[in-house]
Structure 1
């Protein structure tokens, strides 16, 4: 049975116009949402920046050896080694380890559908699309629903019976302080945890499935032959977040840590691996806020461009009666959509600046006006003087 096939579909000119009208409505909605999103992003950036500045001025670095009740309710910075009273275990496979968190990842060998489409425009405005569907077996960490395939016959996937799972210590200790889930969830540093042949006996004793089990390249393989996997075979790996030194900035509540609510609006609960000074943690948070702000600005401008392109799309479709004219129109509307997105996006950001940071915005505007006036006056002063011709007395006589 072939693992690929082609499907040809056609859309009339009137059908494309109807679809383009739907695109206009969606484009308008996208434009409105992106204007709101860009405005919100500027407010979010300002609130986070002010919250971090407030926290940086209020934070108190304390030792982890003892809990000082005088710091209750204050924003504190603590560094120290994390310890746990209990270990980690995956009972399904008898895996035991010491650390903060043990994560199990599961992949199943299964069918995957991929499609590739080529569209050509016909004289008269119609459109023909040739779609090629291909099928291959791949390792995937989620169940691929083969019933949604264009050609499910011969490509049925078995149900995925083993899934990924995370095992985390319920609580830990930071010397004299207690760590609960909100803090533990923020500790990063997960590393590959390679299984050894010495663990094979315990793993096989805990495993209750019917597929043959083996340890291959530090992972569990469920199947007959790992070199030629069969449909429904599994590959199971682990990651471990080890115990180690961490740094926390949070509100002290007795011996525990809670988010610190700033007057600016954000709640601060920051966790980093290693012995990191408070100044660096805040500097990293400021950098992250700046990066997120610019990424969201870029995404907003991109989606604005798409929104305006959809809004203008009927022009190209109407002119597709002659494909060449439609292509030229789409090129023009694409440029117009980009220009409109930049214009609307920058105006939205500027208005948001005046709304959220009026003093800074006015200062920048004033500086710009002053600079423009200075440049204008310098330009006028460098103009060559117009020579004045003295009257000729003889000519006057």
Structure 2
């Protein structure tokens, strides 16, 4: 080969290398496709996690409330409503005693939620120390002496007076009337000295007041069968009530309960799944991730940046799983989410077609 020909071929090869564009990963669609697909997948997984936890919690609330009812968290803004009939509600507040409790047998009363009469009798009690011994003591209620190892000579008489609770007949908690069975569940204990002056005349002749208690005999030298009566009260204080609404009343239910202070649903219902937090934050983050993923996929198709198309398509993706999941729990909510899905999908299709028309015009 002649030197001139060799030189010409070498020059042509150099020109081809110079004309060849350098390889740039940004010009390839595959990195954009991969990144967009990963972001969309992460957004869908986040949507599944958020919606499944929210759905699990709502199903737990429905199971507690019962068929056809809801569990409504009224808190401290509790007022009766016909829409709450039959629902299980959480109410927080300090109850107000409208009608005071009263012990009619001994004419004792109080302004508290509940008046409790406790009756003890001075009676025989068996103590086992390897062998049975018998002692006379003040014991609440009656000890069954027939169960003693040696009942002879240690027979306890019948208890003449029974212990009893007297809840306030009418108690209001915000706008609701609190059922007496719920008043019985309120914890608390305050001593309540007997009002000896209020005793009926026949009982005043039988019982005597000693250190706030009522005794049927000599309190300093009690004898077998003597009775001691002691009253206590449950004071008014802030409580949290979980009860069912029945014509403006809070009534007991299978899951009903009363606790002191401002208690959460988790405290009242430990069987509930943990309450999910940050649901809307997770939904917004998932939407933005899905929109960014769609934008990267559009970049791979060389369609340019269309924020509205990316947001609409990302929103449609993020509404897909919620519409399916919530349809099984609440049909109307599921239909609402489906309508929102179709709306965002329609916006995305409109922007997609508009972009294609603009691209054709630009090419012409």
Q: Please report the TM-score for the alignment, with normalisation by the length of structure 1.
A: 0.46
Bigger Cα Rg: 2
The higher-RCO structure (CA 8 Å, 6+ apart) is 1
Q: Please report the TM-score for the alignment, with normalisation by the length of structure 2.
A: 0.50
